[in-house]
Structure 1
């Protein structure tokens, strides 16, 4: 029995050429989708690792300062948390990861304020503002300055800042 010579007919040649082109296009589509999924997962893992590091740091701070605070006056209020809000992050079109890294760097600068008396922090608020405003923050090889527009101080220290590119 003999195999018919389909390779000579143009209709079969078009079919096999279309099959091969379809496989190639499908493969590129798969590679593109796989890359997108991997990029999202890497970003999510980095954010989770940063959260874990922040939580470990907060636990250390709380444990070390707890003994000192118990000895002192417990009736005075203390700063429990630091929150940073950006006013112009959408205008600069920064990625979520860049915003998160910048926020964590600013919060790291303010970690000495946690578990301190509100009165003490309010007395040194100008020093805090100058410290934050004079520091250059580096995120993804770009340098940024921040300008503090509002400062709310109670058990949570809330900073409303504006991001500027450093020259």
Structure 2
């Protein structure tokens, strides 16, 4: 058995030449498109790497700035709230209304301190306490004086005061 000689027939020669030329054109088309797509992907990857690097640098800068600002704010905190507690209100057996009125009177005396930074309040701490201690609070027909026992100064100013009834 013999393979027929296709190379001698011009129809088959054109067919095989067309297949080979088509494969070469197809291979060239594939290489061209693969190269352009690969170039685009490399460019996109490099731009994304640069963007990520820039964003990481910005993030580090923002973190350091935030840390610095937090440290500065920690140094310059402000008074947000004022609390008053009486140490001997149970011993004097004062009613709730009297205690509430005394607390509100003291808070009204100190309301100017809200929003001020803790450093300036700490500097004028003695003046603030002398203002409260030297004032006589009149509730109903009874007069009261307050003496400081403890003071805690942070974002909340907490005063522990002793109530004294003024006679005469």
Give the TM bin, normalised by the shorter chain: 0.5 to 0.7
Q: Distance between the aligned counterparts of 1:149 and 1:88, measured in 2?
A: 11
For residues 90 and 140 of structure 1, the distance between their equivalents in structure 2, rounded to whole angstroms, comes to: 19
Consecutive unaligned residues of structure 1, counting only runs of 5 or more, are 1-72
CA-based RMSD of the aligned residues comes to: 1.3
State the shift of 1:140 in Å: 1.5
Which consecutive unaligned segments of at least 5 residues does structure 2 have?
A: 1-71
Q: 2:140 & 2:91 partners in 1: Cα distance?
A: 18
Q: TM-score, normalised by structure 1?
A: 0.55
Instruction: Output the CA distance in 2 between the equivalents of 1:82 and 1:107.
Output: 7
Say which one has the larger Rg.
2
Displacement over 3 Å in runs of 4+: none
Aligned equivalent of 2:156: 156
TM-score after normalising by structure 2: 0.55
CA-to-aligned-CA distance 1:29-81 (integer Å, 9 cap, x gap): xxxxxxxxxxxxxxxxxxxxxxxxxxxxxxxxxxxxxxxxxxxx967210000
Q: Where does 1:17-28 land on structure 2 (aligned, <5 Å)? A: none
Q: How many residues align?
A: 95
Corresponding residue for residue 128 of structure 2: 128
Structure 2 distance, partners of 1:120, 1:101, is 28
